[in-house]
A and B are shown apart, each in its own frame.
Chain A
Amino acid sequence: MVKNVKKASAAVIGSLHQFTEDEVVTVRQKLLTWYDANHRVLPWRTIAATEPDRSKRAYAVWVSEIMLQQTQVSTVVSYFVKWMAKWPTVEDLARATLEEVNQVWAGLGYYSRARRLHEGAVKHLPGIGRYSGSAIASIALGCGVGVVDGNVNRVFARVRGIGADITLQSTTEHMWTLANQLVDSDRPGDFNQAMMEFGATVCTPKNPSCNSCPLSVHCVSHHRSGDQQERASITNHFKKRKMPSESSAVPDIECLPECALCLRKEDWDSSLGVQNYPRKAQKTQSRQKASAVVVLQGLLANLWEFPSIALTDGDSHQEKEVTEQLINQVYKILLDDQKGLTWPSRYQGGQWMTRKEFVTSATSTAMKKVLKAVEVSEEKNKNEKKMGLVEKSPDTKKQKTISQFFTAAPKKK
């Protein structure tokens, strides 16, 4: 039974990748039951559930949704609390300066989000796309619309066996269709959060908890990988678990030959199991960029940084270098630069800061790491030029060195 035939008209989509009407009801029910039993208590949820003022609700959800983009819940909570304490309403945020906003945001990453939030409060909502719009509408305002984020994409890709490139417009459209179809009209906010949280905690990118998953009987990828997974796990080796008889809910995993959403046979890696979905987008080789940092405002959306210039491969600096590697940016820290770097034109200005000012002003985590690396290396140099490995001490106790207690004595001749 195919609902929404309209969307399928552009490309051929096998019925496998869609929910039947019966499935819509059971999957929705299972997810909500799961959410009621397992959801995390988060400050923005409390506000969305208890705040009587509609615009305050929308504001809190908006802030939380923007913060949660590309960022884990555990990281966001403390920032969210800090943010809401400082600017409890949109009007408060509109009166803040961009500098203040960046300062509170510092450390959360993707700084353009902070700017968009601020601009959104001052003017009217740029940076709200389909996702944020739907999330706010459903969670704060109770509109029956579905939401698709990275977590939801993964859940749908696995449950409905969608192996097409997730970044394609056609795939995205299909995901939104599924989300809108599945959303519970009585509790849309809860349902959407249930989907996202389910993806974040059960249907995780790596090592999903298929054994405790309420949707496994509806899950195409689980069905497909069932045998391999069971063989791989030694505990299952001894007590081989039969697929529940309900598994006939996914009777036939063969799809239409020309289906645009199926995972191509050659892309199936049996060792990955359900993790074959969603299919990894073609990775573009990320370039490792190196910047020379001379331990001000520029690169990251109006944040302070140490002056830096991009290095080309050929550049080699003879100075003592301390490297601090970020995802794909290597900061080569030149402690003592004799060559005199030319002041890059992209800077709006510079300012000398004390260490304390530096830490509390709007600086990115990367720059804080740079400072830390410099401090660590200075400490090292102080102790000895010819020093071996420092014993790592992950515990709270810090290993002292002998030279902190005994001082060098004049050499005996």
Chain B
Amino acid sequence: MFEARLVHGNLLKKVLDAIKDLLTEASWDCADSGIQLQAMDNSHVSLVSVNLRAEGFDKYRCDRNLIMGMDLTSMSKILKCSASDDIITMKAQDNADTVSFIFESPSQEKVSDYQMKLMNLDQDHLGIPETEYACVIKMPSGEFARICRDLSNFGENIVIACSKEGVKFSAAGDIGTANVKLAQTSSVDKEEDAVVIDMQEPVTLTFACRYLNMFTKATPLSPQVSLSMHPDVPLVVEYAIGEIGQIQYFLAPKIGDEDS
């Protein structure tokens, strides 16, 4: 028996919005410690990892480990049927081939439940090596989304360069070039508005805009985003999911052609 109840059901909707453009289907691994999802996009350029801790749920029970393969488009359709203040409960029997979503209004006057067929997905799990990243940039998530959107007008790549002075985002294309520099904030009222750079050594990497823009679909989840970079290693873009977990996007860099 698996059951997870989330009073802020809205969070789950936002998680789905954050992954459904990248992934069409994925497996949710449910265990005693919580729910995890890991999947690559179709082109295998990026990897999404979602972690929802058991303690973060208002009620969580998982008797046996369970892998639920879901069509994320269908799941998103179902979650759209819930109101933003609904309490959401996911339920499944052991070895079941369906999962139930139960939406309760805060007043308990309306209760709806939806059942969805599960899929048998054979997905590889990738081991993500522990990396001591050379640069970790924390910045307001809205600012990051804005920069990615603006720069994607210029070209298909964004160069992210992190140095002592700050972080520079640049793009170049047919219409011209664009550069956005952010310096570390000196005084802050709110922690989440700050740009904080933790740098061991300067790093410059190139990434495809298309993916960065899809990652920023997670902006509503958290006011802050963290970007971790290391030479010749995928970028990590991480957003907190309220108090209950986090979503990480790994994006393979674009590397000069000399080695191919």
Q: Interface residues, chain A, CB within 8 Å of chain B?
A: 383-384, 387-391, 393, 395-413
Within the complex, what minimum Cβ distance (angstroms) separates B212 from chain A? Answer: 13
Closest-CB distance, A394 to chain B (whole angstroms): 9
The answer to whether A406 and B250 touch (CB under 8 A), given A388-B43, A395-B156, is yes
Q: How far does the Cβ of B259 sit from chain A's closest Cβ, in whole Å? A: 8
Interface membership of B128, Cβ < 8 A: yes
Interface residues of B in 203-260 (CB under 8 A from A): 206, 208, 210, 233-234, 250-257, 260
Give Cα A308 to B234, complex, Å: 43
Distance between Cα atoms of A401 and B206 in the complex (Å): 13
Give the residues in chain B near A395, CB-CB below 8 Å.
Answer: 156-157, 254
A-B pairs with beta carbons under 8 Å apart, 7 shown:
A400-B45, A400-B234, A402-B44, A405-B234, A408-B124, A408-B125, A412-B65
User: Which of B129, B253, B257 lies in contact with A406, CB distance below 8 A?
Assistant: B129
Contact A398 B254 (CB under 8 A): yes
Q: How far is the CA of A383 from the CA of B252 in the complex (A)?
A: 14
**Contacts A391-B210, A395-B156 given; does A400 touch B127 at CB 8 Å:** no
Contact A405 B44 (CB under 8 A): no
Whether the Cβ atoms of A387 and B44 lie closer than 8 Å is yes
- B35 close to chain A: CB less than 8 A: no
Given contacts A398-B257, A408-B126, is CB(A403)–CB(B44) below 8 Å? yes
Give per-residue flags for B115-134: 1 if the beta carbon is below 8 A from chain A beta carbons, else 0: 00000000011111100000
Q: What are the 4 closest A-B residue pairs judged by CB atoms, nearest first? A: A388-B42, A409-B127, A397-B254, A400-B252
**Complex interface: chain A residues within 8 A of B6 (CB):** none
Cα separation A389 to B45 with both chains bound (whole Å): 11
- CB-CB under 8 A from A412, the residues of chain B are 29, 65, 125
**Other-chain contact of B208, A391, A409, A413 (Cβ < 8 Å):** A391
Known A397-B157, A397-B257: A402·B125 in contact at CB below 8 Å: no
Shortest distance from the beta carbon of B22 to any chain A beta carbon, whole Å: 12
A407 to B253, CA, bound (A): 16
> Which A residues touch B124, using CB under 8 A?
408
Closest to A379 in B: B260
Docked Cα-Cα span, A408 to B128, in Å, equals 9
| Complex Cα–Cα for A159 and B255 (A) | 52
Whether B139 sits at the interface, judged by CB under 8 Å, is: no
The answer on a CB contact under 8 Å between B257 and A409 is no
Q: Is A384 within 8 A of B44, CB to CB?
A: yes
